[in-house]
């Protein structure tokens, strides 16, 4: 069984604005997605091209993926803008982006207050992208209906050098490990004016890291960020964790 509200393959110079996409809000199957941009309607990991694509002011409800775009590694998609969307009810990925050069993710609201089942959770997931700007997004209330859940949560996750600015993360209320911003060892990443509040005093467990860089990285910039951690439980807590020697 499949449920994909909006599927496109090989698109250029397209804008999608002011729409609502709704799929199953209970299933844990990868077959469900609100928006799937890939080379196959039945698989998210099939490469396709999506140049000069704008996705703005839409509402996405449900799915394993909320919004996913899978580009071509040898010839990445270019100039993709994801702006002003409301994404909720997803199972694992609110957003999922691979192989894009010139990706702007801005002013999106990501939450999941009523879903009662979840595995590992990603708010914004980016891998193998270049020139990515993650700006003015709000990620919050991802576990309200499952506060004892112990899965790992990545409100923002990236593997390449990017700019993270003016984002807000708060009310991640569960008992699992949390990485407010997780960077997979990228050089020259810039963190400006972000607010990360991991302050669930009723939590009973879970490692907590406000900003985490997983490997040796050079040229990082960290300015005017606010990180607050008053989370309960016995788990180790770090405001900034740099897992490298330089």
Of the chain, the percentage scoring pLDDT greater than 90 comes to 90
> What's the whole-number mean pLDDT along residues 17-26?
97
pLDDT on residue 109: 98
H or E segment at 238? Answer: strand 237-242
pLDDT on residue 187: 86
> What's the whole-number mean pLDDT along residues 108-123?
97
Rounded Cα gap, residues 123 and 185, in angstroms: 19
Count Cβ atoms below 10 Å from residue 21 Cβ, excluding itself.
Answer: 21
pLDDT on residue 185: 81
More confident residue, 6 or 244: 6
pLDDT on residue 1: 77
Nearest 10 degrees: CA dihedral of 167, 168, 174, 180? 40
pLDDT on residue 61: 98
**CA-based nearest residue to 19, from 35, 8, 30, 41:** 35
Q: Are 36 and 68 in contact (CB under 8 A)?
A: yes
pLDDT at 105 over 80: yes
Rounded Cα gap, residues 198 and 150, in angstroms: 15
């Amino acid at each position: 069984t499949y449920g994909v509200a909006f599927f496109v393959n090989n698109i250029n110079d397209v804008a999608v604005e002011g729409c609502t996409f709704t799929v199953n809000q209970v299933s844990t199957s990868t077959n469900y997605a609100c928006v799937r941009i890939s080379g196959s309607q039945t698989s998210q990991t099939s490469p396709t091209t999506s140049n000069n694509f704008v996705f703005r002011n839409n509402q996405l409800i449900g799915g394993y993926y909320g919004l996913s775009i899978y580009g071509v590694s040898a010839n990445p998609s270019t100039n993709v803008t994801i702006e002003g969307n409301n994404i909720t009810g997803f199972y694992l990925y609110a957003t999922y982006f691979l192989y894009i050069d010139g990706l702007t993710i801005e002013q999106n609201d990501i939450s999941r207050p009523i879903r009662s089942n979840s595995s590992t959770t990603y708010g914004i997931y980016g891998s193998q992208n270049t020139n990515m700007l993650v700006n003015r997004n709000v990620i919050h209330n991802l576990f309200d209906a499952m506060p004892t859940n112990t899965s790992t949560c990545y409100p923002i996750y990236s593997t390449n050098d990017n700019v993270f600015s003016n984002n807000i993360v708060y009310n991640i209320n569960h008992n699992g490990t949390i990485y407010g911003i997780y960077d997979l060892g990228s050089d020259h990443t810039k963190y400006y004016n972000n607010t990360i509040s991991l302050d669930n005093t009723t939590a009973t467990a879970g490692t907590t890291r406000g900003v985490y860089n997983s490997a040796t990285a050079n040229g990082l910039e960290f300015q005017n960020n606010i990180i607050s951690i008053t989370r309960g439980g016995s788990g180790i807590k770090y405001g900034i964790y740099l897992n490298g020697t330089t």
